[in-house]
Structure 1
Amino acid sequence: MRLVSSLLPLVLLVISFASNAQTVLYHNFSGYTLTGEPGEEALFKQFDAMLIRDGKVAAVGSLETLTTQLNQVPDRKIDLKGKTVLPGIIDAHGHMLGLGENLMQVDLRTASSEQDAVARVAEFAAEHTEQWVIGRGWNQENWTSRDFPSAQSLDEFMVERPVWLTRVDGHAGWANSKALELAGITAETVSPEGGEIIRDSSGQPTGVLVDNAMALVESQLPKKTAEYYRKALTAAFDHLVSEGITGVHDAGISATNLEVYQQLSAEGKMPVRVYAMLSASEPKLPELLAAGPITTADDSLTVRSVKIYTDGALGSRGAALLEPYSDAANTRGLLVTQPDAIEDLFNLVIPYGFQINIHAIGDRANRIALNTFAEAFGTIGGRNLRHRIEHSQVVHPNDIPRFKELDIIASMQPTHATSDKNMAEDRLGKERMAGAYAWQTFLEQGTIVAAGSDFPVELSNPFFGVHAAVTRQDRANNPQGGWYAHEAMTLKQALRAFTLDAAYAAGQERELGSLEPGKWADFIVLDQDPYKVSNAKLWQANVLATYVAGEAVYTQE
């Protein structure tokens, strides 16, 4: 990998303004950005002053050089008092509606056991009178038993009201008996294709539904209104800007969600730039594709991609593997969408010029995705559309070079590795770990890696992701030396994956992702310098302010 460092003084543009230009000069800070072309050709820049004109970067460099070349006094001059400035973080894979809902529902992420989760649900239900009790975040891998939960434990406190609790990865759900009853699920109910109704030894449903089987209960949930979408998305916006996130690639939205985004954008109420992927399961997908890509004038909303699911998740044994699970020899996971249907979607989407972002976690799912891309490129073309594989989590070593050969972007989430480290070897065995969470292997072959969090599956704080990428450790600094540490990123690689390369993955590297002249002035102010603290402390970065188009959308009180 080649990163060229350029130290102060630095000026990237000779400044000339119209008389009515609104200019703001920020100074007295430690600034860092990766500039130029994405990937290994990116240049590392440092600066201590930045001039913004009408929401865009006009110049960066030293205060002395910018002051010398200015031909007019800026409208404002702001001293950042020695803090650190970085480009706004772009999360290349998140779920905005899911995050907003998570903030409004019972959160089970830190539940230590099935009983603890039940107690939290009971407490939440006592304070909320809606018919359905809805939550998310349970993870049996964090419990001592590591067994799936049961409807019976929920029934002990909640009989008349239905309960539906989504697993942390969004690929399994836990229902009480009332919810199963409303969904019509009995011992005779057949598991749908691409899903599984977990059953006990007598064939009775236990209350846990995996992947496509979840729809049996979810079809009974209260319908989501446009106002509900607005409330949830606004909650997500407020949360994300407080963490320094200025852009999100929203991984799978409905037509209704799109309508609400368009309304919010028109009203100027989108403090986070959204690159939205249309859901392949949206009934109106052909109509939306025919309407063409969407890009607002202020780049607050962009729509020119489609999200397709191939398989489920590793934690719920829904990831599709080439060989059986090491800890469950009777299964190789699930295909949420069958190969023929995936091929049909490629043939539908690519001719409209939309990027395909395909979810693939298991090695079989990744191979199916790569094979389908290769076939499509040979028949209908579209190789230039910067297609992506979302997660690229467990890839057969023979398939990793194909990402580069096919120009496929690997959209990966660093905190998945540190969350999965306690169970991944159990699921895969050591041999298959050779192609799992293989960030550095992808980077060394020149593949663009776009980093995200997959919130609310993981916490959205991007510095948790930067820390995980660099250390391969959790925030308690375990395991010592890092988990499969040879696949760790450098700090520059990690920050590039969350900024410039994430922008490239959305075709937005000319507008976003770095602090360079002509790009939007999306930046954050931190209380610590990531290049001067130990790697173990990277996750502790505190966001003091977040700016989008040069305007503060968050300041710490």
Structure 2
Amino acid sequence: MSGEKLRGDSMRLACIVVCLMLIACERDEKTVLSGSPTFEPAQLILKNAYIYTVDPARSIASAMAIRDGRIVYVGTEHGVNKYIGVQTQINDLKGRLVLPGFIQSISNSTDYSGLDLFPFQSIEGYQNKIQDYILNNPEAQMVVGRGWRMEVFGAGEPHKAILDQINDLIPIIMFSADQSYVWTNSEAIAAAGIDMNTQSSTENLIKKSEDGIPVGLFQGRKAVNIFNNLIPEKPVKEEYLDIGDLEEFVIPRGVTTLYTVYIPFYESENKTQEYKKYMSSKDLDVRIRASVRVPIDISPERFKLLRNYADNISSDNFKINAISIVMPATGLTNSHSAQNQLGLTLKDASVILADLFSQANSHKFQVHFSVPVEDYSEGILKDQLDKLIKNDQQGLRNIISNIPEGLLDALLVRENTAAIIYENKMPTYNVDKLIGSGSSVMRNKILYFAGNRRLDGQAEKLNGVRGPISIIHTGTMYKVPVETMIQMLTIRGAYANHLEKETGSLEVGKWADFIILDRNLLKINPDEIYKTKVLKTYYKGRLVY
């Protein structure tokens, strides 16, 4: 074959290759221009930012792109440019910190009880809360609340005189956290028609003085029902106006997801439909995962009703995913025969709880189990913790509050249970366990610790609830790294609520729930964290604050 022919063949081959490459390029260009998901223009782009993504690698990025409420890119300034279109909004953050939206557990008062006493640790705290309510609601004809705990009274007991000091002209009715006691003033006793001649029973135990006069402390299911029946029924709209109050409080503080929000359980169809209509009219700018408080003796029939109720009123932004239990534990010891003030032995309590956990999980409800009492031994707690974990065969990720450090090891080896640690026990914890320096499971287990103490007068509160920035500051005071505190309030909260694929970190595919701060929490002196302000809050890509 001649050299000239070889050169001709080579040239033809080269031309064919070039043509094929041009065709391929044209096809790729047409794919991009036709709207390939990879390079379709974003609606919002953040540039020149310090983005702590809280992804598994704990990456820091400088740019992020959002389209249709979800994150489509997280990375560099150069890499985000391909998402810029004619109508793309570009925000130059000038180096400001961007975090995932906070995910906060909150104890609110969205049920029949207008006041929530649970956060308070003293009788004076109870009195101040009730007195403030009366001063701010001078038209009130009755004061109703819940959440007080027997251990707060120490060696004493709740007495009508404590409430009479506040007001003895209108009924004051306070239900205990475990829903087994009622504490009232003199006017409420009179309204219930109870006097020294009223006989006690096992379901209506009336505490009386040596002279036989009721002292304002009642115990048992019948007693609870007697005082419940005194409470005027409110329209659903009036009962739930405080959900709007919660939004107004938490969104400016960077919260995009709330969980353990308490709501009442309406068994009547009319009430259920009324509430569903009301909630469907709410354009929520925060994600809510709600919880219903239930007594420990809730029946299987009521569980079925509760499941139907939850399914009937839930939506994308609002779901009832849990039940909440406060165990009436005061007086229980390691003795299986010793009885507490409810007449329960440890054996009784263990059997009841095991059945309750099993029923809840079989109906697809998480269990939020809170043990607020100080005299619960770790042996008893471990017994109940084991039952809670063993019954969670479906990976519902039950949550235990106020867990002592002695049980953290038992908790951390279980995959599907999380813990909320209370602030007043922080000095007793091993910080390494809170950091979760071991497996990825451990890193997801420990949620933030809840507390009510004001921080140098700077923390803002609503009904005892503090904002996440204040909580982060408090954690650093206990030598917990700021990164860990942020994780507790973002990805760990998402994990506890089966939301880790939707929110909790800034990753491609997740909802664009994020906040912009005026200071970089990762760089400033921890003593200055409480001064940090949330500049903007985005929920599902929408600016909500």
Shift of residue 534, structure 1, vs aligned partner: 2.4
Partners of 1:32 and 1:55 lie apart in 2 by 19
Q: Does 1:79 align with 2:92?
A: yes
Q: Aligned to 2:107, which of 94, 118, 125?
A: 94
Q: Does 1:233 align with 2:243?
A: yes
Partners of 1:234 and 1:322 lie apart in 2 by 45
Shift of residue 134, structure 1, vs aligned partner: 4.3
Residue pair 1:360, 1:389 contacting (<8 A) in 2 also: no
Who is 1:372 aligned against?
387
Deviations along 1:434-475, one digit per CA (max 9) or x if unpaired, are xxx667536456541123648877423122222233323xxx
Map 1:377-388; keep pairs closer than 5 Å.
Answer: 382-388=392-398
Partners of 1:512 and 1:206 lie apart in 2 by 51
Shift of residue 223, structure 1, vs aligned partner: 2.0
If the length of structure 1 is used for normalisation, what is the TM-score? 0.70
The 3 A distance-change label for structure 1 pair 138 and 464 is: farther
Q: Does 1:307 align with 2:324?
A: yes
Shift of residue 100, structure 1, vs aligned partner: 10
Shift of residue 373, structure 1, vs aligned partner: 3.1
DSSP 3-state at the match of 1:131: coil
Residue pair 2:134, 2:140 contacting (<8 A) in 1 also: no
Who is 2:538 aligned against?
547
Deviations along 1:258-302, one digit per CA (max 9) or x if unpaired, are 7677546633521121112344447742134368868977x3123
Partners of 2:201 and 2:534 lie apart in 1 by 46
Partners of 1:260 and 1:439 lie apart in 2 by 47
Partners of 2:253 and 2:205 lie apart in 1 by 37
Who is 1:34 aligned against?
54
Of 112-121 and 173-182, deviating more is: 112-121
Who is 1:441 aligned against?
433
If the length of structure 2 is used for normalisation, what is the TM-score? 0.71
Shift of residue 384, structure 1, vs aligned partner: 3.8
Deviations along 1:382-439, one digit per CA (max 9) or x if unpaired, are 43423323314336x2x43332344342331444547xx8xxxxxxxxxxx6xxx667
Q: Which amino acid aligns with 1:309?
A: V
Structure 2 stretches lacking a partner, 5+ long: 1-31, 453-461
The 3 A distance-change label for structure 1 pair 346 and 102 is: closer
Partners of 2:127 and 2:213 lie apart in 1 by 21
Identity %: 21
DSSP 3-state at the match of 2:46: strand
DSSP 3-state at the match of 1:517: coil
Of 109-118 and 441-450, deviating more is: 109-118
Residue pair 2:96, 2:519 contacting (<8 A) in 1 also: yes
Shift of residue 551, structure 1, vs aligned partner: 1.1
Q: Which amino acid aligns with 1:506?
A: N
Choose between structure 1 and 2: higher strand proportion: 1
Who is 2:19 aligned against?
none
DSSP 3-state at the match of 2:59: strand
Partners of 2:112 and 2:312 lie apart in 1 by 23
Partners of 1:357 and 1:108 lie apart in 2 by 19
Who is 1:407 aligned against?
415
Deviations along 1:528-547, one digit per CA (max 9) or x if unpaired, are 22112222333333222221
The 3 A distance-change label for structure 1 pair 204 and 499 is: farther
Shift of residue 202, structure 1, vs aligned partner: 6.1
Residue pair 2:236, 2:274 contacting (<8 A) in 1 also: yes
Q: Aligned to 1:50, which of 44, 60, 64?
A: 64
Residue pair 1:93, 1:250 contacting (<8 A) in 2 also: yes
Shift of residue 70, structure 1, vs aligned partner: 2.8
Structure 1 stretches lacking a partner, 5+ long: 1-13, 36-41, 313-317, 377-381, 422-432, 473-487
Q: In angstroms, what is the RMSD of aligned CA positions?
A: 4.6
Residue pair 1:247, 1:272 contacting (<8 A) in 2 also: yes
The 3 A distance-change label for structure 1 pair 70 and 409 is: same
Of 202-211 and 340-349, deviating more is: 202-211
Who is 1:287 aligned against?
305
Q: Which amino acid aligns with 2:502?
A: E
Q: Aligned to 1:451, which of 448, 452, 472?
A: 448
DSSP 3-state at the match of 1:451: coil
DSSP 3-state at the match of 1:60: strand
Deviations along 1:177-216, one digit per CA (max 9) or x if unpaired, are 11133345556665867x9877667675544568977665
Q: Does 1:347 align with 2:365?
A: no
Who is 1:471 aligned against?
477
Residue pair 2:195, 2:214 contacting (<8 A) in 1 also: yes
Map 1:473-488; keep pairs closer than 5 Å.
Answer: none
Give the paired residue count.
480
Residue pair 2:515, 2:538 contacting (<8 A) in 1 also: yes
Partners of 2:151 and 2:370 lie apart in 1 by 22
Map 1:197-346; keep pairs closer than 5 Å.
Answer: 205-207=214-216, 217-256=227-266, 262-263=276-277, 266-267=280-281, 269-281=283-295, 284-289=302-307, 299-311=316-328, 318=330, 322=334, 338-346=349-357
Partners of 2:519 and 2:186 lie apart in 1 by 50
